[in-house]
Amino acid sequence: MKKYVLILCVFLTLNALSVFAARDEATVKANWNFDNGDGTDASGNDVNGTIVGEPEVVDGIVGKAFKFDGIDDGIKFPDEEGINTGGPFTNRTIAAFFKCTDVSISDHKQTIFEEGGRSRGLVLNVYEGNVYVGAWNRAEYQWAGAWPSVTIESDRWYHVALVLREGGNQVEPDKFEMWLDGIKVSSDPGGQVFAHGADIGIAHTNGDTFFHDESGQGNNIHFFGGVIDEVIVYNSAFDEDDFAEFADVIQAATSVEPQDKFTTTWAKLKEHRSIN
């Protein structure tokens, strides 16, 4: 009987951990869908951004999106306890749809999203034909950081995400993940990210960041050229099932099958988003 109880307890514990590790709508910290043609946060947390430059409102992959010129367009966001100034953050998912006009640009990084500064932070960017996700915590427990990347093409929709999964106060295997179009493409050593007070930016660096080659110091630089849509920040770690709906949208948008397939998939994602 004791053996049975022990097995049951272990099963319930593992099950609880798996549930905790997946998407939790209670942990959404920001949802910038751009459907109103501005930087309003649709999550209800009021992490609203200020537009810089003159990005163009265009049809996105889901509703409306912003097309940035890669020169001086971007969106600035203030510090937010649930995103950068609180913590430490043990679980995090940051994801976005994007379509880069020219992925081969090499004279600067093309920032999709960034938060934090030189000591601690998170970033998604394009550079020389690759999309990168990065995370680092160079204070506290000295995580030098990880910047996995995947080769991409110009003028094509992608869904990119970084996931911090059950990070602790030390560098451990398989704590930092990169996902592209619903597929986990990398799992790297990592840990939790402590408070990082430098501000939050979309399509440019709103304060310092840290790229794979140790560049990134400065403000109002590394502008993105192309379209960005549906940027989300959660303090829970998405899994394969959670990313499936985004992968379906990408598959429909890039499919040679009739446009009706994309319309149906878009409607399903929009319905799910409105429910949550």
Distances (CA, A) of 65 to 101, 166, 244, 266: 14, 32, 21, 14
Rg (C-alpha) for the chain, rounded Å, is 18
- What type of residue is 218? G
Give the C-alpha separation, 2 to 80, whole Å. 48
Among 199, 212, 217, 215, smallest CA distance to 145 is for 212
Contacts of 90 (CB under 8 A, 6+ apart): 164, 166, 167, 168, 192
- The residue extents of the domains of the chain are 24-275
Residue 237 backbone dihedrals phi, psi, to 5 degrees: -100, 110
What pLDDT, in 10s, does the model give residues 70-80? 999 999 999 99
Whole-model pTM over 0.85? yes
C-beta of residue 232 within 8 angstroms of C-beta of residue 31: yes
Burial of 79 (0-12, 13-18, 19+ CB in 10 A): middle
Question: What is the mean predicted confidence (pLDDT) over 33-51?
Answer: 97
The three-class DSSP label of residue 92 is strand
Helix (H) or strand (E) holding 243: helix 240-254
Which is more confident, 197 or 95? 95
> Looking at residue 13, what is its pLDDT?
38
Local confidence band at 255 (pLDDT 50, 70, 90 cut-offs): confident
CATH of domain 24-275: 2.60.120.200
Give the rounded distance of the alpha carbon of 188 from its chain centre.
16
What pLDDT, in 10s, does the model give residues 59-108? 999 999 999 999 999 999 999 999 999 999 999 999 999 999 999 999 99
